[in-house]
């Protein structure tokens, strides 16, 4: 079995990340990936039997960078902040993280419609764990009396959906938007206070 940290394998995955991001999964050939990685195509196939296996490898790498552990570490740093500030930081962090991997995330979501393995990986290793982390965050805020009692998965899902749609609009649909700090502040206010005009004290 090839070591996951083998330099040649890592070079192929890094090259695939760049080429997939530029040309998409279907538009990319293994020959182009090998050329980008500066290896022979035959060498590429020693590590990855198919182009789909390369995508699986890239997805595993991406999950490590955007998934559970980075979010847990980040929440540990802001956990004691008031809900408003903590939410703004969470939204900004997720927007920047998702934005950095936007090209590959687009490919994952496209291919996951047809590939059960990719769909299962995304749901089980990305969506559900992150949903649980954010649910625990809201559960703690409810216990502290900072949020009203409800199923904590509900605000977690609303938060994830809002962040994802904002990033999709900005980066994939190229819809002009305000800067991320402003977007994070506005999303926080909508999530906590709704869209009604608040009464002035």
Q: What is the pLDDT of residues 60-89, one digit of tens each?
A: 887 777 767 888 888 888 888 889 999 999
Is residue 48 located within the same domain as residue 117? no
Is residue 73 located within the same domain as residue 163? yes
> 94-103 pLDDT, tens per residue?
888 877 777 7
**Number of domains within the chain:** 2
Establish if 61 belongs to a structural domain: no
Is residue 131 located within the same domain as residue 42? no
Q: What is the 3-state secondary structure (H, E, C) of the chain?
A: CCCCCCHHHHHHHHHHHHHHHHHCCCCCCHHHHHHHHCCCHHHHHHHCCCHHHHHHHHHHHHHHHHCHHHHHHHHHHHCCCCHHHHHHHHHHHHHHHHHHCHHHHHHHHHHCCCCHHHHHHHHHHHHHHHHHHHHHHHHHHHHCCCCCCCCCHHHHHHHHHHHHHHHHHHHHCCCCCCCHHHHHHHHHHHHHHCCCCCCCC
**Domain containing residue 36:** 7-54
Is residue 48 located within the same domain as residue 74? no
Considering only 63-67, 89-93, 116-120, 158-162, which range has the smallest mean pLDDT?
Answer: 63-67
Predicted confidence at residue 198, as pLDDT, reads 59
Is residue 117 located within the same domain as residue 153? yes
Mean pLDDT, rounded, of the chain: 84
pLDDT at 165 exceeding the cut of 70: yes
Establish if 115 belongs to a structural domain: yes
Is residue 184 located within the same domain as residue 95? yes
Is residue 100 located within the same domain as residue 32? no
Establish if 1 belongs to a structural domain: no
Distance of CA 133 to the CA centre of its chain: 14
Establish if 41 belongs to a structural domain: yes
Is residue 25 located within the same domain as residue 87? no
CATH number where 22 lies: 1.10.10.60
Is residue 49 located within the same domain as residue 75? no
Band of pLDDT at residue 139, cut at 50, 70 and 90: very high
Predicted confidence at residue 2, as pLDDT, reads 41
Quick one: average pLDDT of 158-170?
80
Is residue 28 located within the same domain as residue 80? no
pTM listed for this prediction? 0.76
Cβ neighbors of 162 (< 8 A, separation 6 or more) are: 91, 187, 190, 191
Establish if 116 belongs to a structural domain: yes
Predicted confidence at residue 3, as pLDDT, reads 44
Predicted confidence at residue 176, as pLDDT, reads 59
Highest mean pLDDT among 60-64, 141-145, 180-184: 141-145
CATH number where 79 lies: 1.10.357.10
Establish if 60 belongs to a structural domain: no
């Amino acid at each position: 079995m090839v070591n996951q940290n083998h330099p040649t394998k890592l070079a192929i995955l890094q090259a695939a990340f760049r080429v997939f991001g530029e040309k998409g999964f279907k538009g990319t050939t293994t020959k182009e990936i090998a050329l980008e990685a500066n290896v022979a195509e035959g060498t590429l196939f020693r590590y990855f039997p198919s182009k789909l296996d390369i995508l699986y490898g890239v997805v595993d790498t991406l999950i490590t960078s955007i998934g559970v552990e980075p979010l847990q570490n980040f929440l540990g740093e802001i956990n004691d902040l008031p809900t408003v500030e903590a939410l703004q930081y969470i939204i900004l962090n997720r927007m920047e993280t998702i934005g950095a991997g936007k090209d590959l995330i687009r490919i994952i979501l496209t291919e996951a419609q047809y590939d059960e393995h990719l769909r299962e990986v995304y749901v089980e290793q990305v969506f559900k764990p992150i949903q649980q982390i954010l649910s625990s965050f809201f559960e703690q805020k409810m216990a502290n009396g900072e949020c009203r009692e409800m199923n904590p998965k509900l605000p977690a899902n609303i938060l994830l959906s809002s962040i994802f749609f904002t990033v999709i609009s900005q980066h994939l649909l190229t819809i002009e938007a305000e800067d991320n700090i402003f977007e994070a502040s506005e999303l926080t206010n909508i999530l906590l206070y709704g869209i009604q005009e608040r009464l002035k004290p």
